[in-house]
Amino acid sequence: MTALAIDIGGTKILVALVRDGVVLERRQVATPRDGGGDAWCAAIADAAAGWRGQYSSAGAAVTGGIRDGRWYALNPETLPAPAGFPLEATLSDMLGLPVHCTNDAQAAGWGEYRRGAGQGRDMGFVTISTGIGGGLVLGGKLVSGISGLGGHVGLMPLATVDGSTAIENLCSGRWIAKQAEGRADDARGVFAAAATGADWAREIIDLSMDRAALVLRTLQWLVDPAVIVVGGGIGLVPSYFAGLQQRLASGPHRTELRPALLGGDAGVIGAAELALAHSETENAHE
């Protein structure tokens, strides 16, 4: 069964055709950050137009929260998703079939559990990207919680004593880009500068790794999972992943730290799996 899968992140939107955990075709567009919900959905419908008739279910993994099919930002700085935007209804109308929507890190965590680095083991998934998202799979179940936000570690108010800011605001890709203060255009530019030996860039990345390692450490204390899978455009930079590994090397936990095996496809692969499971449940109830 082929699914249309969508991943709406703070920086890019990926639209793909997925079958049995494999991406058959993909299209990627930059997220028009100021466009708003209708513009983002139109960009998705456009990108998928050529695949009409080739899929029988559809799912979307989105940055932010989903409640009753409506979308809202948890941290509008990651993406200012319009509060209460009817994402499921709008995408379903535009694409002509029901579209099941989930938080992006939840979907990616499920993708890694089913088809990637987590396979079959209790796992925590952490994506270090524009923001920092998280998901948990325990006992073979995605722990969505009552709000669909289980394991959302990037939003924990860890790094400040007064709890006034989420830890992602102090180490995510957006934070890295902001610290450059004009010396680089984006997080990628900071990594490029660090690679050529710029001390200012190394310091920013080191501090980001120190703080992101706290996120992973917290997950270890809370859940002590067999594996923590790290994904996202920042988390998957090899030197960054190695820095996290080094910071977690000591301590009593036996948790294995692994890079997402599905890389940037984890979200669409997870969204496809969840869409399929959802449409099977719906059909069983008909």
What residues line the site for ligand BMX (CB under 6 A)?
9-10, 63-64, 73-75, 78-79, 81, 103-105, 127, 129-133, 154-155, 168
Instruction: Report, in Å, the least distance between residue 15 CB and ligand BMX.
Output: 15
CA distance 201 to 180: 7
If we measure between CA atoms, which residue out of 41, 69, 62 comes closest to residue 105? 62
Q: Which is nearer to ligand BMX, 87 or 279 (CB)?
A: 87
Going by C-beta distance under 8 Å and a sequence separation of 6 or more, which residues neighbour residue 195?
239
CB of 75 to ligand BMX, least distance (A): 4
14 vs 204, beta carbon nearer ligand BMX: 14
What minimum distance in Å lies between the beta carbon of 170 and ligand BMX?
A: 12
CB of 27 to ligand BMX, least distance (A): 18
By beta-carbon proximity to ligand BMX, the closer residue of 51 and 72 is: 72
Q: Which two tokens stand for residue 266?
A: 């984890």
Contact 97, 57 (CB under 8 A): yes
Residues 6+ apart with CB under 8 A from 76: none
When the beta carbons of 55 and 152 are compared against ligand BMX, the nearer one is 152
Q: Using CB atoms within 10 Å of the CB of residue 70, give its burial: 0 to 12 exposed, 13 to 18 middle, 19+ buried.
A: middle
- Closest CB to ligand BMX among 47 and 155? 155
Give the nearer residue to ligand BMX in terms of CB position, either 155 or 193. Answer: 155
Least Å distance, CB 270 to ligand BMX, is: 12
Sequence-distant (≥ 6) Cβ neighbours of residue 141 within 8 angstroms = none
CA distance 112 to 121: 10
**Least separation, in Å, of the C-beta of 52 and ligand BMX?**
27
First to last CA, the chain: 19
